[in-house]
């Protein structure tokens, strides 16, 4: 685990702030920022009881360049068999699965994070030197039922690449 500090939104520089401080799903936000479709690269996955856990990279479809690293716990029992199968297949970002499946949900940011990257993170994010990264911890709900806990960390970010 990298060293992580909970921070306020005012401590997050742009463009990180616009990418993290919102109640939308990260897939759509990253696609708009990058001007490219986002695809999923699973790093590790496992199922425990009714929960599915995965650590992933969200990457630009055209270049494979990382746009975010995420860790998620998803309750599978709240989904239809079809949606559950899509989640377990591990090749489509959760936000796109939910949007395209017409699954009504809300996403709530619980904490904003400053992250000091580990050497592994630096390699995954193509970082030649260490610098503070930013991320968020959020929860997803369908009505009052929480079905996901998510942590997302962005690599070094510059302006939009449209």
Tokens of 141: 């709900």
Q: Report percent pLDDT > 90 for the chain.
A: 83
Residue with tokens 């796109």: 96
d(CA 74, CA 94): 10
pLDDT at position 59 over 50 = yes
To which H or E segment does residue 150 belong? Answer: strand 145-154
Q: Which of 40, 31, 58 is nearest to 154 (CA)?
A: 58
The CATH architecture assigned to 4-154 reads 3-Layer(aba) Sandwich (3.40)
Label each residue of 106-137 as H, E or C: EEEEEEEEEECCCHHHHHHCCCCCCCCEEEEE
pLDDT at position 162 over 70 = no
pLDDT at position 38 over 60 = yes
Residue with tokens 């401590």: 11
What pLDDT, on the 0 to 100 scale, is given for residue 26?
Answer: 87
In this structure, are residues 49 and 61 in contact, taking their beta carbons and an 8 Å threshold? no
Instruction: State pLDDT tens for residues 144-156.
Output: 999 999 999 999 9
Examine residue 52 and say whether the peptide bond preceding it is cis (omega within 30 degrees of 0): no
pLDDT at position 158 over 80 = no
pLDDT at position 100 over 60 = yes
Where in the chain are the domains? Answer: 4-154
Q: What is the mean pLDDT of the chain?
A: 92
Instruction: State pLDDT tens for residues 104-128.
Output: 999 999 999 999 999 999 999 989 9
158 or 86, greater pLDDT = 86
Instruction: State pLDDT tens for residues 11-34.
Output: 999 999 999 998 888 888 999 998
């Amino acid at each position: 685990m990298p060293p992580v500090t909970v921070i306020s939104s005012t401590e997050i520089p742009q463009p990180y702030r616009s990418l993290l401080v919102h109640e939308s799903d990260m897939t759509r936000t990253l696609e708009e920022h990058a001007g490219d479709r986002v695809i999923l690269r699973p790093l590790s996955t496992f199922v425990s009881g009714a929960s599915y856990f995965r650590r992933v990279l969200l990457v630009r479809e055209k270049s494979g360049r990382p746009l975010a690293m995420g860790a998620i716990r998803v309750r599978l029992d709240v989904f239809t068999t079809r949606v559950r199968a899509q989640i377990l297949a591990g090749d489509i970002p959760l936000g796109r699965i939910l949007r395209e499946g017409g699954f009504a949900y809300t996403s709530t940011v619980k904490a904003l994070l400053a992250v000091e990257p580990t050497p592994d993170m630096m390699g995954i994010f193509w970082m030649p030197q260490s610098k503070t990264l930013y991320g968020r911890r959020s929860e997803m709900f369908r009505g009052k039922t929480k079905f996901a806990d998510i942590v997302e960390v962005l690599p070094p970010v510059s302006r939009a690449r449209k």
